[in-house]
Structure 1
Amino acid sequence: MTGTNPYGQPYENPYLSGLYAPVHDETTAYDLPVTGRLPESLDGRYLRNGPNPLHVPDPAGYHWFSGDGMIHGVRLRDGHAEWYRNRWIRSESVARGLGEKVLYGPRHMGMDFAPNTHVTLFAGHCLALVEGGALPYEIDPELETVGPFDFHGTLPGGYAAHTLTDPDRGELHAVAYCPALPYVQYLVAGADGRIRRRVDVRVDGHPVMHDFSLTKRYVLLYDLPVVFDWRGHRGRPRPVWRPGRPARLGVLPREGGADAVRWLEVEPCFVLHPMNAYEHGGGRYVTVHVLRYDRYFVTPRPQPGEHVAHLERWTADLTAGTVRREQLDDRPVEYPRVDPRRLTRRHRFGYAVRERGRGAGGGAALVKYDLERGTGTEFRVPAGDDVGEGVFVPAGPGAAEDDGWVLAFAYDARRGASDLLVLAAADVAAGPVARVHLPVRVPAGFHGNWIPDDATGEPEEWPCGEGPVRW
């Protein structure tokens, strides 16, 4: 979007143009065309969240992270692509902007925002997620908004952008923060959808903890030099890089109190997204794979590609109280994922997105890492195209770690629209076994999940006219 800055000079906000430009309509399309063959075992929905501002009153000041959330979804069943939908999350401001009835519900500290970061299913509730103190919003199987969700009245404050489901106990873990509060909250929700555990961990300086890691016994907290600052921002906090601020990795026992956290010093850096963490050596060591930025938010609104992250392995020696870093790849990558069955456990494979416009060939790519062999293979998209986060879907409950599929949205510049790619995880470099052709462009966005039918308890036909439909 082109406009003028306060000095009358022309500018273009990169987050309102090109691949980031918001779409202006909600679309529903049925019987989508497919190139290749969809695996018949893929019965469910691929959902992805991302910013898509309904209105932008200040184009010069807009940043990608602040856009209203929109869910994009594709329904697959029996080898067919039944539908594509995109829907705004109906926060109060979005509902009013669309001229619709407001879905009133609980609020934390008066905050209301259309969550734009992630989407996950837990305890029968499909939740759109965001950090910073706002609540999740629940959506139904057709992506319509049910309303704000507070875990049946048990959520003690706001919630988080990232959650992890423990594959052993089925509980949902999160680390939530609010810029106005001097602590972060470790939260555990039981299978009944209620918060059963809360630990308030005091941290100084209001650090941005976008994500966290989980092992079988520990929660890892990233207290790094990006903090919220109120100065010069009209009373609204913004994340900034704070030179000289100590960087540390917190190791909290999952069943311990706040006083049990051990803080281990690390070199100054920033981590938006870790890949996975696990214990070994009889519990002496914790290893976590992270995407490490040297710095972040050095400027108030980082531009696309201004900072890049690289895959690193951090090994914490809990006896010596040290953390050893090892960079594993020089590719600039983001959005790491693993087989969800391997969360909290040693894993061999991981997936990430190589940034568009950087590295050999200049195109974006999906990267599959073999962490045992120390290799990475790619599926590249042509220059001018783009590909988003790759989500691994196992072929079955007992399938091997890379026996399954990787799903991702990709932009096709020749069509001016997007596809849902389905790649065989065992051979990502071979390219997609199927492309579902969407009728519209899916803007660059953040995170998504595959929600299989066997996780939703979905009946063959949905009842109509009976209020929100449960998953």
Structure 2
Amino acid sequence: MADQGNPYLRGLFAPVREEVTAHDLPVSGRIPHGLEGRYLRNGPNPLNLDDPATYHWFSGPGMVHGVRLRDGRAQWYRNRWVRNDAMATALGDKPLHGPRHLDMDLAPNTHILNFAGRCLATVEGGALPYELDGDLNTLGPYDFQGTLPGGFAAHTTIDPVSGELHAVAYCWAYPYVQYLVVGVDGRVRRSVDIPVDGRPMMHDFSLTASHVLLYDLPVVFHPDPANAPSSMPYIWDPERTPRLGVLPREGGAEDVRWLEIEPCFVFHPMSAYEDGAGRITIHLVRYDRMFAGQDSRGPDETPPRLVRWTVDLAAGTVREDGLDDRAVEFPRIDPRRETGAHRYGYGVLEPTDGYAAERARRHLLSPTAPALDLTQVGVGIVKFDLERGSSEVHRFHRDGDVGEGVFVPSPDGGAEDDGWILSYVFDPERGATDLVVLAAQDLSGEPLARVHLPVRVPVGFHGNWMPDHVG
């Protein structure tokens, strides 16, 4: 597959060409007691492209990469394409078929989660999730036992109090978004259609103890998708009024309060919670704009920054305060603190100066490109202390790459940061990827363990830790 100069088909973004299974992986250091389960991460991995020049990083079929940890050992590594009908046919397998929404059948490439005993690969835009088994084999599209009223979403939140799954789904064909609540029995128990004009892209949402927060921002479905500059049919609409929607959890569409905000785009909020005095605090990663260029094939138009929004419900205002000047993405917190106040957050630092050019030089050019000075370009996993306004960073090899850092709480600990950060990290000296385990309470220290995978894991999106025992 020739890349025709497409940067998202080269270097560390280049797709891998085969599925691999490896057992009894070598480990440097010691895997902590308590890490018993699977770390899975999803991301795009195109196999064949009709026009590589117009390929957009977000649009490739999903491939899930997984490592199984048990008894202090790394039992296996697997990578598997999500087999929608098209991918099954391309790989010579029998298509699984199954339910559809508007005849859409995507191979979900964005996230992966475990809920109600099912492992689901997810994507946005109106398609269904796909279910995988414990060895990452595709079982087929999943519609929550026939209760899903339309498509699903890339991002979800499990309420740590009720155990229910929440999502906000959108689809280019409908003038509304759907707020969905899935009960612990795996069936959709609540669906609210919320009218929105202009078919906006809502990649994610936020959930508090009492409210759902909707990001209606100036990225919309392209009015002429056949003439979009890439395979992603979205465009920045500078005339669109950006706004934040505040919906009571048990309210209807008529109960949404829309609050105007400054123009921006948000892929990933970190967290949101209420203070009991009519205010909502939101920590999120903010872009000045997105999909505004004529040759956009990835999210490199403006650097993402961590900010705090304070929503005053009585006054109907949203105040923004910057929290960090560095470019950061993929924010995560302790999942036990979802919907409530918390102190710590985690993210992946990107190059901060000359964002697009430096990011391209690190990831996309030849191995002979000059290395970057990490005193000027902060690449690694960062831990934010949101109470003190401080942070600490674990840096990796200057010519490598680091994926989303997922916080896993220690089963024996009670402190918010008592646990580990898991991330796929490319090691250029080996030419392959490690699953790195960091102690969250001392992020600047040496990794507790490195599980050495036999292959490179391409730069991708989101993952989750799936423990053997939940409860």
Normalised to the residue count of structure 1, the TM-score between the two structures is 0.93
- Contact 2:289-2:301 within 8 A present in 1 as well: no
Partners of 1:201 and 1:53 in 2: CA distance: 34
Q: Which runs of 5+ in 1 are unaligned?
A: 4-10, 457-471
Q: 1:334 to 1:39 in 2, by over 3 A?
A: same
Partners of 2:331 and 2:77 in 1: CA distance: 25
2:395 is aligned to: 380
What letter is aligned with 1:133?
G
2:304 is aligned to: 309
Choose from 262, 265, 270 the match for 1:267: 262
Q: 1:50 to 1:327 in 2, by over 3 A?
A: same
- Contact 1:228-1:237 within 8 A present in 2 as well: no
2:143 is aligned to: 150
Partners of 2:172 and 2:303 in 1: CA distance: 25
What secondary structure does 1:233 align onto?
helix
1:422 is aligned to: 437
1:444 is aligned to: 459
- For residue 305 of structure 1, report the CA deviation from its aligned partner: 3.2
Choose from 394, 403, 407 the match for 2:422: 407
- CA offsets 1:298-344 (integer angstroms, 9 cap, x no match): 12524463321100000000000000000000010000000000000
Identity of aligned residues (%): 63
What secondary structure does 2:136 align onto?
coil
- CA offsets 1:385-417 (integer angstroms, 9 cap, x no match): 000000000011752100000000000111110
Please give the residue correspondences for 1:8-407 in structure 2 after superposition, counting only pairs within 5 Å. Answer: 11-231=4-224, 233=226, 238-282=233-277, 284-300=278-294, 301-303=296-298, 305-356=300-351, 357=358, 360-362=375-377, 364-396=379-411, 399-407=414-422
Partners of 1:310 and 1:115 in 2: CA distance: 27
- For residue 245 of structure 1, report the CA deviation from its aligned partner: 1.2
Once superposed, what is the RMSD of the aligned Cα atoms?
1.5
Partners of 2:223 and 2:180 in 1: CA distance: 27
Partners of 1:424 and 1:105 in 2: CA distance: 42
What letter is aligned with 2:40?
L
- For residue 232 of structure 1, report the CA deviation from its aligned partner: 5.6
- Contact 1:224-1:269 within 8 A present in 2 as well: yes
What letter is aligned with 1:153?
G
What letter is aligned with 1:454?
H
- CA offsets 1:12-45 (integer angstroms, 9 cap, x no match): 1111001110000100000000001100210000
What letter is aligned with 1:438?
L
Mean CA deviation greater in 381-390 or 210-219: 381-390
Partners of 2:208 and 2:76 in 1: CA distance: 37
Partners of 1:177 and 1:303 in 2: CA distance: 21
Partners of 1:134 and 1:271 in 2: CA distance: 21
What secondary structure does 1:94 align onto?
helix
Partners of 1:18 and 1:228 in 2: CA distance: 30
- CA offsets 1:35-71 (integer angstroms, 9 cap, x no match): 0110021000000000001211110110110000000
Mean CA deviation greater in 74-83 or 394-403: 394-403
- For residue 229 of structure 1, report the CA deviation from its aligned partner: 1.2
Partners of 2:84 and 2:203 in 1: CA distance: 21
- CA offsets 1:136-178 (integer angstroms, 9 cap, x no match): 0000000000100000000000000000000000000000000
What secondary structure does 1:329 align onto?
strand
Q: 1:12 to 1:127 in 2, by over 3 A?
A: same
Partners of 1:304 and 1:440 in 2: CA distance: 25
Mean CA deviation greater in 385-394 or 231-240: 231-240
Normalised to the residue count of structure 2, the TM-score between the two structures is 0.93
Q: Which runs of 5+ in 2 are unaligned?
A: 352-357, 360-373
- For residue 279 of structure 1, report the CA deviation from its aligned partner: 0.2
Partners of 1:95 and 1:202 in 2: CA distance: 36
Partners of 2:238 and 2:9 in 1: CA distance: 30
1:463 is aligned to: none
- Contact 1:363-1:386 within 8 A present in 2 as well: no
Query: How many residue pairs were aligned?
Result: 448
1:462 is aligned to: none
Mean CA deviation greater in 117-126 or 222-231: 222-231
Partners of 2:64 and 2:232 in 1: CA distance: 26
Partners of 2:92 and 2:378 in 1: CA distance: 40
- CA offsets 1:106-133 (integer angstroms, 9 cap, x no match): 0000000100000000001100000001
